[in-house]
Amino acid sequence: MSLFMHYYISKFAGTVDSATDLQRRIQLDDIHVLEDLKLRIEEFLRIKLSVSSELRDLEKKRQRLQAEIFTLTQSVEESKRGYTKNRLELDRIKLSLKQAAYAREELENRNIPLLRPPLKLLTGEDARQLYLPAPAPPECQMHSCFDYSRCSLTSGFPVYFYPTDDSVPELNVRASLAQILDTNVHTTFDPSTACVHVVILGGHLPSWSVASYLRQLAHWNGSGRNHIVINLGGTTILSEKHVQQAIIAQSSAEAATFRQKFDITLTPAPLGKELAQPWESAPVILPARRRYLLSFQGRLARDANITIAARANEMIVNVLGKMSQGFDNELNFSFSCLAAENVSSVPNDWLLCGEPSSRAQLLRESTFSIIFAPPAVFVSTATFLVRIRESLQNGAIPVILGGDAVELPFSEFVDWSRAALLLPLARVTEVHFILRTYLDADIVELRRRGRLLWESYLSTTSRMINTVLSLVRTRLGIPAPPAHEEPSPSVFNATFRPLTIEAAPNTEMDEMLGPIEPPFPSLTYQRNFSVTLNDQAKVWNEDFDPHTMYPYGVQEPILPSEAKFMGSSFGFRPVAQGAGGSGKEFGEVLGGNVPREQFTVVMLTYEREAVLIDSLQRLHSLPHLNKVIVVWNSLKPPSPDLRWPDIGVPIEASEVVRAKKNSLNNRFLPFSAIETEAVLSVDDDTHLRHDEIVFGFREIFKVRAVILTNSATLGPRVWREARDRIVGFPGRYHAWDVNHKSWYYNSNYSCELSMVLMGAAFFHKYYSYVYTYVMPQAIRDKVDEYMNCEDIAMNFLVSHITRKPPLKVTTRWTFRCPGCTVSLSADDSHFHERDTCLNFFVKVYGYMPLLYTQFRLDSILFKTRIPHDRQKCFKFI
């Protein structure tokens, strides 16, 4: 047992020793492992540092490479932009050269008429010898009694007026004649060079003494050839036996002695003081229907003998008396009066009743007025023509019974059927039936034209005499004198040269809007003789201005589409030579139905130099721009160190015009520096993009109409296609105040508009002449009084002439100028003044000429899906 235990104890002791050694050995191994780990960690740290350093180097290299890539990318993009810009500029240059080649070819092949100088005007004794003997009356006509050799087509129609001290005792008539001598461009004080000699007679000379008076005139030359005898009196009746070969202009004329298309009828000279502003004595045109449908007031001048004419008048009285029974509220007839004003000495003629004021009161309450033709032996009498003048003045539409047997004033060119009813006397029983069929629109249009006729030709003595001269000049085929143009005095003196700067880079060069061509003017006075010889109906009855020849008209004949390819190509630039196309071809040429042209920017400014220069710079490289005229509306000149930008138009062609006074009317003056038909009127703070301007000027549009809730596409329209319209951007409208029964100006958003603001609008230069010289002075005075409303005045004028509303383009409703000071339009009084202007202008015109429109204009391919290889007409419009 003990031995057994000894064995196991010894085994245990040996085991203990082995465990100790093992532990020791393990410890030694751990030490070696730790040392190895330490070495490895140190190695890893060295590797980490090395990798970090390498990563930093790589990051630096990466950043450097990225910077180089960014720089190269920018350079590539810049090169692409430069390439695109240069390519577009190269295309523009090529296009400009191409257009210049077209222009050169046109000039080389232009059909220039062969003009010869006029024949020498006959003077002195030579003229006496060549006068032919007077033909037997009443055979005198222009071809037999007028010497055309004294009136060359290029002579200007010189007129010599005989002194009037003895022949015209009326002071008011003398004043009118003095005004004519001062203002009429035909007046000459050298009788030997005159085309015609004018003799003015009053009402005091009896007919038997007129012949001897005329023969004593210094240049009568035995027969009175090339003389016009204007008889302003109503009692003296002249005929060929008194005046021989002279033209007679008078109110009373006998049928047997009146020489058709030779003699002239005109109303007697208005009594009393001449009207400085004829509109002041005329009522408004509306309402269409007045208290009485038809009226008449007069007394028959009885003859001692009962004639056929007397019996006819008795019959008329009976018929009208029966007609008025049952219609007392509509018809007002009076065939007797206590105080008759006997203007006419003609038997069986209808005399005037009462004073002019009482007659005017009845006429202003009458829609129509009956006027009886004079007795059959006369084609006109003084009383008859006074009735016509008073009816037109007071808005009663003349119903002339016997209108087929009378000679009305200036009827050779004036179309009286557009202002009066000319009925045979046999229709007297049907007058009431006829008048009841007239619509309100017909009544208003007849009344409006009648008022225009009266204002233009019959309202004053001076206007009547000027009309007589214009009528004779038109007979001779001599064009009217050219319209006066306002000089364009520069704000700079002759020795000062303004400083210039390079225009800022154009940010709108990514679209081809048209060629950049050298400035060229619109052709002027191209239709002098075609208008004079073939278009007088429009001149006398649409324009109501035969006294002036304008350099161009707003509605000139348009050639058929094929004409430009068949010998009439001068000036035309058809799209793709007539093949048409989308945006690319569209942007290369102007196209359209009329020859190429440019427009002039007229910019009104007042002491805002920074704003002005900024606006001018935006016009750099604008296609179709002829020049920019800056109307400097301040008496203080611009700063001498002000630098004017070079905008692509030669700087010497840009005009800075000094205004005579600070007036908003200055923006519409017909400056001689404006050499284009198209005028873009802009304010100095107006910001328009190039594509908007070109779009407004060009001729292809899609009309987006707002009519109820539907949209419609109408035919092509824009300024070049609608030259008689104003084409602009911000729209406004006139609204009716139901409570105050008046008009007010409204700038709120609306689906209708009737005006476009002239701070950004195209219009024809013709309207500048009419605005300045023809439109009533009272309107321009009101504009100066308020320093406001000039845009309303121009919209009134154009709508009055055309009876059409303006055209609005693009979506713009207003303009913002962040860097500008507060404008006048921000003041509440600005809108109150515009309300006043609206109602005052209505009083001047006699009605509201503005018309509403319910659409605006966008380009044809706007919002239209097109193939990827095609371009739209405009990118953003």
Neighbours of 852 (CB within 10 A): 12
The DSSP secondary structure of 542-584, one letter per residue, reads II--TT-B-SS-SS-----GGGGGTT--TT---GGGGT--SHH
- Four-residue CA torsion sign, 663, 669, 673, 675: positive
Judge whether 793 and 775 are in contact, CB under 8 Å.
Answer: yes
Q: Name the DSSP letter for residue 314.
A: H
Q: Name the DSSP letter for residue 280.
A: G
CA-to-CA distance for 21 and 15, rounded, in angstroms? 10
Neighbours of 207 (CB within 10 A): 14
Which distant-in-sequence residues (6+ apart) come within 8 Å of 224 by Cβ?
214, 243, 244, 245, 246
CA-to-CA distance for 146 and 99, rounded, in angstroms? 50
Structure tokens given for 13: 């002791």
CA-to-CA distance for 274 and 277, rounded, in angstroms? 9
165 a catalytic residue: no
How far lies 56's CA from each of 60, 68, 549, in Å? 6, 18, 86
Residue with tokens 């058809």: 574
Nearest one of 553, 704, 560, 697 to 622, comparing CA atoms: 697
Which distant-in-sequence residues (6+ apart) come within 8 Å of 781 by Cβ?
none
Could you tell me how many helices (H) and strands (E) the chain has, helices first? 21, 29
Q: Look at phi and psi of residue 414 and say left if phi exceeds 0, alpha if psi is from -120 to 50, else beta.
A: beta
How far lies 573's CA from each of 579, 591, 680, 692, in Å? 12, 5, 22, 21
CA angle 234, 238, 242 (to 5 degrees): 150
Residue with tokens 């109602």: 839
How far lies 103's CA from each of 108, 570, 597, 720, 763, in Å? 9, 8, 12, 20, 26
CA-to-CA distance for 187 and 158, rounded, in angstroms? 6
Q: Name the DSSP letter for residue 395.
A: T
How far lies 639's CA from each of 156, 686, 858, in Å? 45, 22, 41
Catalytic residue among 545, 614, 791, 835: 791
Phi and psi dihedrals of 762, rounded to 5? -90, 140
Name the helix (H) or strand (E) containing 61.
helix 2-108
CA-to-CA distance for 539 and 474, rounded, in angstroms? 11
CA-to-CA distance for 133 and 138, rounded, in angstroms? 14
Q: Name the DSSP letter for residue 589.
A: S
Residues labelled as active-site residues: 791
